[in-house]
Amino acid sequence: MNDLQKELQALKAKVVNLESRIVAEPVKWQPKGGNFFIQSNGKVSEVVGGSDAPHREFGVERPARQQAEHAAVEMRRFNRLLALRDELCGDDVPTLESSNISKYFIVYNGFENTWNVSAIYKGFVTPCFKTEQQAKRACDMLNSGEVEL
């Protein structure tokens, strides 16, 4: 084997080594859509003429009417909670990604049927409040029945 062949084999080995270190980027998940979609007013409609990419990508299409109706209830609850937070906080809204800012969450205690403030919340995605007072006010409004989700 001459020097060029040895150099070529060394380069091939290096390529194999480099290729093995490449981390494949995951394929991004997208909702698969379905036959029913939830309108912005919460009504469920049948998809006519094939899935609509913006509805599907936004996550408002479901394969079955019952799934869409259930999702509409949950979307209403989340959207109303988000609207309540925005009304109480105005432009002073932290995001889950903001790091050096205190965040407060409201959580539902199913045993006591009450809403409570939590500074630590892991699991579900939920709107966060910047101050404990804002979160407490939201809980008071929910617990009194003034606000229904």
User: What pLDDT does 21 receive?
Assistant: 78
User: What pLDDT does 15 receive?
Assistant: 84
The residue type found at 149 is: L
Between CA 20 and CA 142 the distance in angstroms is 55
- What's the pTM? 0.69
Residue numbers in the chain where pLDDT is lower than 70: 1, 51, 94-101, 120-124
The residue type found at 121 is: Y
Between CA 142 and CA 149 the distance in angstroms is 8
Tokens in use for 97?
A: 């990604």
Contact by Cβ (8 Å): 92, 127: no
